[in-house]
Chain A
Amino acid sequence: MTRLPLQPGEVIDRSAPLNFTWNGDQISAFTGDTIASAIMANGNRIFARSMKYHRPRGLLTADFWDPNSFVQVGDDPNVRSAHRLAEAGMEVTAQNVWPSLDYDVKAANGVVGKFLTAGFYYKTFMKPAKLWPAYEKVLAQFAPGGKVDLNTPHMYHDKRYAHPDVLVAGGGPAGMAAAIAAAEAGAQVMLVEHEHLLGGSLLWGTEADRAVAAELVAACEAADNIEILLNSTVTGRYEDNWCAIAQRSHPIAVERLIKARAKMLVVAPGLIERPYVFAGNDKPGVMLSGAVRRLINLYAVKPGQKAVVFTANAAGDRAAEDLTRAGIDVVRVVDARNGGNIVAAKGGAKSVESVELGDGSTVEADLLVTAIGWTAPTSLLNLAGDRPAYDPVAARFFSSQLPDNILVAGGLAGDGTTDQLIAHARDTGELAARRAVVIAQTLQRLTARAVNVDGDIAPMPADDRTTLRRDPHPELHRSTTHGLVDYSEDVSSKDLFSAAKEGYDSVELIKRFTTATMGPSQGKLETVNTVAVLAEARGETIAEVGTTVWRPPYAPITLGALGGRIFEPVRVSSIQPWHEANRATPILAGQWVRPEHYGDPAGEVRNVRENVGIIDVTPLGKLDLRGRDVPKLLSMLYTNKWMQLPIGSVRYGVMCAEDGVVMDDGVTAHIAEDHYMMTTTSSGAAGVWEWAENWLQTEHPDWEVHITPVTTGFTSINVAGPKSRELVARLTDIDLDPETFKYMQVRTGSVAGVDNCFMWRIGFTGELSYELHVPSGYGLHVWETLLDQGADLGIKAFGLEAQRIMRLEKGHFIVGQDTDGLTKMPSVGMNGLIKLDKDDFAGKAELAISLEQTNLPKVVAIQTTDPTIVPEEACQIVRAGTNEIIGRITSSRMSPTLGRSICLGQVLPEAADAGSNLTVVMTTGERITAKVMEHHAHFDPEGERLRV
């Protein structure tokens, strides 16, 4: 065991022990331990094998970004063991090792390491291309990462929207101070901390540091207007401070994506410690100062026995003090500020045994701690368009130009004592609150109908904060030896040198060629060293080489959180309870759930043709149009004429977009003086409404028309079949005499005791039919009454499938099925409905051109030679004996009425004449013959059945 006695700042609860397993061995831990700290406390140092060379790896940073800490927890792969808290009963295993972490066969790669230099995969496995499947199989064995269990149950993920005045990214001293000051100034604050506790680096600092932290934490927790999100990360910042926050600490959801529109964003993530490049820098036992200080102070874990500390700053000095206090023998402190250096970590693969120093001496040690400088995590600033500039004196990057709605605090902004950083952060928070007020007022004023701001809006408060100083820091990146730059991807400084020599000498190219910075720590540890090594190879400065652009997400987010909870409504008609009770097979049509059939679609068709059937067509788009100028609007939207439609009549029309492409079709009824009802296709309902509003609002604002969408205000039922008149007559006071209520007419009246119903005689099915639109609260009542009253007539409900078969028998095209985004109206064979003598209508100019075109495809009815073969929809039609495509099948079904296969299709004009012979390529590749029919309608082309 390497657990230390009680440490004053430890975050583990020794009164709450727990157990889990690591590769099958029992691990005893305490509540508050991370998985990694517990495994280490039990005497284990090796956590993983590296990606390419399978070298044993120990903890490097002992935090979220540790590249060597990935483990499998049960069915959860790639868990960051130095961040995830230990829980009782976890089954933790090492990833990507075989047969075991200690004896990994793939470590043989280390022997042939020279073959795995930069670009190895690109160069070796490119040719011959036909061998790729074989290569892929072998390479997959070497892919890093855990095992994905495809049977893992779906877990709950969530989304949330938030509108804080001030969003603070980072819950260290600066972030907390900024949050408190902003809250005191009256702002609603959201404080987001990456780790499990507020406090940042103060937590592993001195007693005085921890006292400061405790005071700040207490103030944050006491403030009503600060919301604290722990174990959460601001992963991205987009236009107008639209920020993504991955919340890993939700009590129910595995992960929650918070979309926050922050008036002000304060970025205070602190600094990330950078590794040093030297020979053996990935041996277990080589750690950064932050890692040993966390392990000792937070988790009371002894990281080694004999230590060498290489330090260039106060963090390294503190690490040496912590080690000594914890009883570790600090055999040498090498100070870079006095010209000291380390050259190599030596020893076996599994541990450091000695350290070679810059003065040529060698010191025995099992722990080498480095503290050589910092990387400024500027990601969120980059995402706001900032191009951080490198300061060689301070040896890190600083922000250069930010929009007014972002402020920086803490180590990202500069250096100082804790008090100075806190004072600067308080100023930052206060400034953020003042700016948030101005931004809120500006937004308020833009809302014409809102209660407006009294007086003038104050100008954007200027940045009057005292500037933080920048302390000089040695520029340290690589020693005199070569070592790893990217631990996740096994990329060494030698690889970078040779890649630069090969010509990949721009920072963006070298990244892609060597994959340096592209591993799971996403450049947090690697980017600056990559740039520095490249600068060295090019003989230039870091500023001259420049950096890659940080992109979102700042920290990985699960796909589950991105998918989250879908805010998509499901729409059903008022008859849905009956459909469910009668075992309808549901089908999703856009947002609508509809009955596809009730068990026997062919039987449903036969019953409509012979007796009477009813179908729920509620999703049919319905627009109530009122006003003096409705006929003008209809004339504008449809290609045919509408100025003279008598009251009581219904007319069919086709709508085209301005490019002449068929957009929608449907019937519109003239119900009363200045009152019309339009129906659209189910999927086109929303679009047609927007389209109509566009014409009214932009081109013809003088027209008096008011549109009300009433799709769900009415339940729509089509009663179809030769016995439909007899049935409907039993329920209504409307006179159904065919001499007075003819095909394509509309009436208003009561049905089944329900007043204010519309009834129109139309028929998609080709049978005598009455379409009822009844106030939706009575939909189920009318439906059940029809079934009850029609029992002796053989009534049956029919579903969408039966209707689709019957419409195909009648040759009616469906917009979007038999037409596509290129199908102009002359293709659908209704040129009689294009009235170019109208003054204007949507698509007129284009249709005038396309009516002259002779090469447009045609929608035609097609029948296969063999009546039993139903070609699948989208089968190609080719010129006989060739593979030249001249059309395709757009709809096909077996017709129960005709007892044969029937189709609609689109073909080029050369094959569109009645009687043309077609070759259809089946999905099997087999070719069959078919013939173009004279009429679109396969059944009752004269339409006698629906006019009776």
Chain B
Amino acid sequence: MMLVPCPNCGPRNASDLRYVGESHSRPNPNEVTPQEWRTYLYMQDNPAGLLKETWYCRSGCRQYFTALRNTSTNEFTNHPLPGNKTGAVDPSFHYVSESKSDTNDGASS
């Protein structure tokens, strides 16, 4: 189980949080067409790569936050603060859960 870095509580088991899903901005319900609304509800980008997504720190601070995650490596590369709808990036944030150095293990020569 991967660790998810909550901005308040730090890295936590993913099961401590609820995965809300991909972050897409909500269309104005008064202007949206049925097609657009259902695209918003049901269609996911599901990329192999960078994805902006929402998490809820269910067992900790109970804050919703958005994070940018590489779905192939689970690398969290930036990290807007809670409730930040603009998606502003915290440039100091970089969490590589499974880093791989260039140097290899002693097992191979």
Nearest chain A CB to B106 CB, angstrom units? 4
* Contact yes or no, A701 B105, CB < 8 A: no
* Contact yes or no, A240 B1, CB < 8 A: yes
Q: Give complex CA distance A408, B104 in Å.
A: 11
* Contact yes or no, A460 B101, CB < 8 A: yes
Residues of A within 8 A of B9 (CB): 447
Q: Give complex CA distance A398, B82 in Å.
A: 45
Selected contact of A448 from candidates B7, B30, B32, B64, CB within 8 Å: B7
Answer yes or no: B46 CB below 8 A from chain A CBs: no
* Contact yes or no, A845 B29, CB < 8 A: yes
Asked whether A405 and B82 contact (CB < 8 A) given A446-B11, A845-B29, A846-B41, the answer is no
Asked whether A468 and B1 contact (CB < 8 A) given A450-B10, A658-B41, the answer is no
Answer yes or no: A690 CB below 8 A from chain B CBs: yes
Asked whether A693 and B64 contact (CB < 8 A) given A450-B10, A845-B37, the answer is yes
* Contact yes or no, A698 B83, CB < 8 A: yes
Q: Give complex CA distance A462, B74 in Å.
A: 22
Answer yes or no: A463 CB below 8 A from chain B CBs: yes
Residues of B within 8 A of A405 (CB): 98-99
Answer yes or no: B34 CB below 8 A from chain A CBs: yes
Q: Give complex CA distance A292, B62 in Å.
A: 60
The secondary-structure label for the interface of chain B is: loop
Residues of B within 8 A of A403 (CB): 98-100
* Contact yes or no, A701 B41, CB < 8 A: no
Residues of B within 8 A of A846 (CB): 37, 41
Residues of A within 8 A of B1 (CB): 238-240, 242
* Contact yes or no, B74 A239, CB < 8 A: yes
Answer yes or no: A293 CB below 8 A from chain B CBs: no
Residues of A within 8 A of B71 (CB): none
Asked whether A443 and B101 contact (CB < 8 A) given A697-B63, A698-B85, the answer is no
Answer yes or no: A442 CB below 8 A from chain B CBs: yes
Q: Give complex CA distance A470, B58 in Å.
A: 50
* Contact yes or no, A694 B64, CB < 8 A: yes
* Contact yes or no, B29 A840, CB < 8 A: yes
Residues of B within 8 A of A467 (CB): 106, 109
Q: Give complex CA distance A403, B102 in Å.
A: 10
Which residue from chain A places its CB closest to the CB of B20 in the assembled complex?
A694
Kindly state the interface size class of chain A when it binds its partner: 35 or more
* Contact yes or no, B107 A413, CB < 8 A: yes
Residues of A within 8 A of B32 (CB): 845
- Which residues, 52 to 109 on B, are CB-close (under 8 Å) to A? 54, 56, 58, 62-64, 74, 82-83, 85, 93, 95, 97-101, 103-109
Nearest chain A CB to B23 CB, angstrom units? 9
Answer yes or no: A912 CB below 8 A from chain B CBs: no
* Contact yes or no, B97 A701, CB < 8 A: no
Q: Give complex CA distance A428, B54 in Å.
A: 39
Which residue from chain A places its CB closest to the CB of B18 in the assembled complex?
A690
Residues of A within 8 A of B100 (CB): 401-404
Selected contact of A408 from candidates B26, B37, B106, CB within 8 Å: B106
Q: Give complex CA distance A929, B69 in Å.
A: 57
Q: Give complex CA distance A424, B105 in Å.
A: 12
* Contact yes or no, B3 A839, CB < 8 A: no
* Contact yes or no, A462 B103, CB < 8 A: yes
Residues of A within 8 A of B95 (CB): 442, 446
The CB with the most chain B CB atoms within 10 A, among A385, A404, A465, is that of: A404
Interface residue tally for chain B (C-beta within 8 Å): 44
Nearest chain B CB to A699 CB, angstrom units? 7
* Contact yes or no, B64 A697, CB < 8 A: yes
Selected contact of B10 from candidates A412, A414, A444, CB within 8 Å: A444
Q: Give complex CA distance A238, B15 in Å.
A: 14
Selected contact of A398 from candidates B5, B83, B107, CB within 8 Å: B107
Residues of A within 8 A of B82 (CB): 697
- Which residues, 837 to 851 on A, are CB-close (under 8 Å) to B? 839-840, 844-846, 848-849
* Contact yes or no, A404 B8, CB < 8 A: no
Answer yes or no: A124 CB below 8 A from chain B CBs: no
* Contact yes or no, A699 B26, CB < 8 A: yes
As a 0/1 sequence over residues 36 to 48 of chain B, the CB contacts with chain A under 8 angstroms (1 = contact) are 0100010000000
Residues of A within 8 A of B103 (CB): 462-464
Which residue from chain A places its CB closest to the CB of B93 in the assembled complex?
A446
Residues of B within 8 A of A384 (CB): 98
Residues of B within 8 A of A659 (CB): 41
Q: Give complex CA distance A690, B7 in Å.
A: 18
Answer yes or no: A407 CB below 8 A from chain B CBs: yes
Answer yes or no: A449 CB below 8 A from chain B CBs: yes
Selected contact of A240 from candidates B2, B64, B83, B105, CB within 8 Å: B2
* Contact yes or no, B107 A399, CB < 8 A: yes
Residues of B within 8 A of A238 (CB): 1
Selected contact of B108 from candidates A398, A446, A447, A844, CB within 8 Å: A398
Answer yes or no: B49 CB below 8 A from chain A CBs: no
* Contact yes or no, A463 B104, CB < 8 A: yes
Q: Give complex CA distance A844, B27 in Å.
A: 11
Answer yes or no: A324 CB below 8 A from chain B CBs: no
Residues of B within 8 A of A240 (CB): 1-3, 97-98
Which residue from chain B places its CB closest to the CB of A840 in the assembled complex?
B29
Which residue from chain A places its CB closest to the CB of B2 in the assembled complex?
A239
Nearest chain B CB to A471 CB, angstrom units? 12
Asked whether A408 and B105 contact (CB < 8 A) given A240-B2, A443-B11, A447-B9, the answer is yes
Nearest chain B CB to A905 CB, angstrom units? 28
Residues of A within 8 A of B99 (CB): 403-405, 460
Answer yes or no: A400 CB below 8 A from chain B CBs: yes
* Contact yes or no, A694 B107, CB < 8 A: no
Residues of A within 8 A of B11 (CB): 443, 446-447
Residues of B within 8 A of A401 (CB): 100, 104-105
Which residue from chain B places its CB closest to the CB of A427 in the assembled complex?
B106
Residues of A within 8 A of B30 (CB): 839-840, 844
18 sample A-B contacts, Cβ–Cβ < 8 Å, listed by A number? A239-B1, A239-B74, A239-B98, A242-B2, A400-B104, A404-B99, A404-B100, A442-B95, A446-B10, A448-B7, A463-B106, A464-B103, A693-B64, A839-B30, A840-B29, A844-B30, A845-B37, A849-B34
Known: A460-B99, A468-B107, A840-B29. 6 other contacts (CB 8 A): A401-B104, A446-B93, A447-B8, A468-B106, A697-B83, A846-B41
Q: Which 9 A-B pairs have the closest CB atoms?
A: A447-B10, A845-B29, A239-B2, A399-B107, A403-B98, A463-B103, A413-B107, A701-B83, A844-B29
